[in-house]
Structure 1
């Protein structure tokens, strides 16, 4: 087993973790990836080396996802056949929990998540962020996970080529792993671990605005696509009304053009995994969904207003519910990528040589042993 620890600008907690892992007597190899921390942190990594860990380093910061991929690539090339447990370097994961994840992974040969229970003194941004991401994940996959942002994870050795094929270089990478694992049918399981936040989690390098945008990018792109569709619908409606003077022609014509625009944006930009699907199949599914949503819109509005909900509130609630439903159906069914077997084969072939991802400073990467 390999314990992989991505690290950016670490403090004393990283050497302490390495020491505790060494003292645990597991015999696991420890691989630390210095994600461009800079010369100020050389002393920390020298201490890590002295404690027996292998350190990979490159000069520029590329993000946690890229650091993990660098570690996976190194393991696949130099230590093939070993399972990997990923842990954070900021003191949030204790040795006992790391070993529990490793044991669960060996027992089930599955992806194992160290699941935190958010109670007690937990920073608000962590509590809210994890709840929001959990809701988004359930919406996109139909699978409910309590902790989608945990950095303590176990991966069986055979998944390393696939892990290298998952998109993302920064914090969004770990969520993408879960999304694609669910889509491809990989088993996800979890074990409960301690929730540890030291000094308000001040050592975390998560940037709330920028990194949240990366994580929620699919939902944001879907929202923008819907907005563009609305604007196109409105503009075309006004043009056709001026040209024909016919309400029904303007309404139908505007809806056809805006629906085509929305379909194209969703297929090409919002859900790119669905691009390889036959166009006829995608169009047929989209039309069926649009027809269903139209009927559901009327039915929900009628139900809410009959129950005494004010018209405006009923309209807003209906649109929100159908927006989320439309996203879930298009993500999970309509624009779902090719079959899992084909993607697994493609990923294995693409990364069979276990080369470093090109966005890393691969020419300057060095292992300090």
Structure 2
């Protein structure tokens, strides 16, 4: 145990076929945070066993349902745990840094915020993202009306920290990558107080091989627009 500082914090890691890296990712997270839940989203390898051996709580989907569904399952598990008050979504491929999570939690606790989302595009932030993606993803954010309303520059960053009110109100219905736009829409609909925090993404050959095609970014925006129309 690491004392009481983060006893109320749960890290949610959605994972699909990440057996080669998940043990190291969970171990790195648990060096600071005791409470980690890994949602094995129908993996065909031993992701679940590797995560469990590294000390994570493990919830398994029998079939692959997509990252949105995995995040929803993980948040539901975490928010049901006694004393849970702070939550973070954290990618399974090793792209995210613990230091960024700690800083985001600090902002959540010290400022009047409900959710802090990471951004790769703040001025001065180290960014080794491939050039095409670095050009396209900010444009995707600008295409999204909800992102523009909140002045978010990187709405599809997987690193987020939020409080119990957001965790209790999170009800993702879009199971795939469109969950990112759905989270932004929920921020607007619930008037959650949001801020961006500059974060560094650690791009590796492995994480890039697991990345989403650029066309998915456009699909995310249109899925978000469709959700908005359906809720009217």
What's the counterpart of residue 171 of structure 1? 177
What's the counterpart of residue 215 of structure 2? 209
**SS of 1:203's equivalent?**
helix
What's the counterpart of residue 141 of structure 2? 134
* Alignment match of 1:18 (pick from 16, 26, 43): 26
What's the counterpart of residue 46 of structure 1? 49
What's the counterpart of residue 35 of structure 1? 41
**SS of 1:170's equivalent?**
coil
CA distance in 2, matches of 1:18, 1:218: 31
**Deviating more after overlay: 56-65 vs 134-143:** 134-143
The change in CA–CA distance for 1:140 and 1:157 in structure 2 (over 3 A counts) is closer
What's the counterpart of residue 121 of structure 1? 128
The change in CA–CA distance for 1:9 and 1:215 in structure 2 (over 3 A counts) is farther
RMSD across aligned positions (CA)? 2.5
What's the counterpart of residue 69 of structure 1? 72
What's the counterpart of residue 6 of structure 1? 14
* Preserved CA contact (<8 Å) 1:138 1:145: no
The one-character-per-residue Cα deviations of 1:236-259 (angstroms, maximum 9, x if unpaired) are xxxxxxxxxxxxxxxxxxxxxxxx
Structure 2 gap segments, 5+ residues each: 1-8
The change in CA–CA distance for 1:23 and 1:140 in structure 2 (over 3 A counts) is closer
What's the counterpart of residue 115 of structure 2? 111
Which structure's residues are more often helix, by fraction?
1
**SS of 1:196's equivalent?**
coil
Structure 1 gap segments, 5+ residues each: 222-268, 275-369
What's the counterpart of residue 156 of structure 2? 149
CA distance in 1, matches of 2:198, 2:146: 23
The change in CA–CA distance for 1:163 and 1:17 in structure 2 (over 3 A counts) is same
What's the counterpart of residue 192 of structure 2? 186
How far does residue 138 in structure 1 lie from its aligned partner after superposition? 4.7
CA distance in 2, matches of 1:170, 1:186: 23
Query: How many pairs are equivalent?
Result: 220
* Preserved CA contact (<8 Å) 1:83 1:157: yes
What's the counterpart of residue 92 of structure 1? 95
Larger radius of gyration: 1
The change in CA–CA distance for 1:182 and 1:86 in structure 2 (over 3 A counts) is same
The change in CA–CA distance for 1:121 and 1:57 in structure 2 (over 3 A counts) is same
The change in CA–CA distance for 1:195 and 1:140 in structure 2 (over 3 A counts) is closer
How far does residue 209 in structure 1 lie from its aligned partner after superposition? 3.4
